[in-house]
Amino acid sequence: MSGSLDSAVSGSLEGLLIADFGRVLAGPYATMLLADLGADVVKIERPGTGDDTRRWGPPWVGDESTYFRSVNRNKRSFAWDLHDPDHLDQVRELVTRADVVVENFLPGTMDRFELGYDAVRVLNPDVVYCSVTGFGGHNDLPGYDLLIQAVGGLMSITGPDSGTPTKVGVAMVDVVTGLHAAVGILAALRHRDHTGEGQRVEVNLLSSLLSALVNQTSGYVGAGVVPAAMGNRHPSVAPYEVFETGGSQLVLAVGNDRQFASLVKVLGIPELAQDERYATNDQRVAHRDCLVDDLTKALSVDTADAWFERLTAAGVACGPLNDIADAVALAERLGLHPVVEIDDPSRAEPVRQVANPIRLSATPATYRGAPPRLGEHTPPVRTSQAPSV
């Protein structure tokens, strides 16, 4: 695929200009999704250092961080220093014309440069201005994913038991917040299409996490139940965990009584479907320990791969414990095309990227540009007249 940002754009968001002040993950993830769908995203970075994730490695590809690459394709990088008056003039000219402004600085930072929402909307009344914070716009607290996982309760329900709080193996709170930001931006643009009115979109990591904890937060808010870590078990469904077999491990995710009957039939113990301890999901949860013993005994006579084949054929949700390489290979086998390659004349080899997961039949995602080098597209700074971008 071509990596030129001059290529023709035919995405759903073609013609949309986004001034992107996002750094690290939540903001850049949101703007990359919008860029994939055709928006023109201008990433404003500090000269000399740029986005923090440019230095977050290993892994590296040459001198480039794969972390930075993961959320910054299809963007142009402008190296502009907000503390430099000439650069700041250029930035203000850009935000005056932008359809969307995205920022995830500490609250108040953009105001100090007269780039906050109140200042920008005077210059650009129909702007959609998205602020991403850790704890809301009135709380001057830094928001890093690990911190939010800790204070937001995610670590308390993750890990082998309640005494071993564990973080999720990826910055999931940032990713979820980025998704919320993208949805909020699109909703605001839809409103602008109808009314001509811009508005401010605010998302924060803590609120996004509490929403993303879904049934766990709901259990507390609705029933006063404070959940605890259960390892690979589910608080409300059984069997729904990792099982030992005669060779490696297998995940069973049995969500209803019909699937349970199919499971025990394939395992050669169909009588368990009629056992009063296991006849319904709530009874299976109540008698989880003895259920696990019975299923593990039956599973021990064959390998995980063999059970995967037989159980899948019977409509039972199950699967092996894959690593990332296995997961990508599985997606390839299923025809999901999880990897794209972006050609770039400045690089010796195409840039391999994880594909955008959104599939649109008429306006699919496009991959027009590799993640930019720092300041790669910066126009010359002029004090008398801002350059066209």
384 pLDDT exceeds 90?
no
130: its two tokens: 């998205």
Q: Which one, of 30, 27, 67, 61, lies nearest residue 45 by Cα?
A: 27
Does this chain's domain 17-213+341-354 share its CATH topology with 249-320? no
d(CA 185, CA 30): 9
pLDDT tens for each residue of 66-119: 999 999 999 999 999 999 999 999 999 999 999 999 999 999 999 999 999 999
Helices (H) and strands (E) in the chain, counts: 14, 13
φ/ψ bin of 166: left (φ > 0), alpha (ψ from -120 to 50), beta (otherwise): beta
Average pLDDT (210-214) is 98
**249-320 in CATH: which number?**
3.30.1540.10
Q: State the catalytic residues.
A: 174
- Run of H or E including 76: strand 75-79
List the domain boundaries for the chain.
17-213+341-354, 249-320
d(CA 336, CA 234): 28
d(CA 185, CA 19): 13
pLDDT tens for each residue of 267-310: 999 999 999 999 999 999 999 999 999 999 999 999 999 999 99
Q: Which fold has domain 17-213+341-354?
A: Rossmann fold (3.40.50)
pLDDT for position 112: 96
- Token pair 């959940």 is at which residue? 227
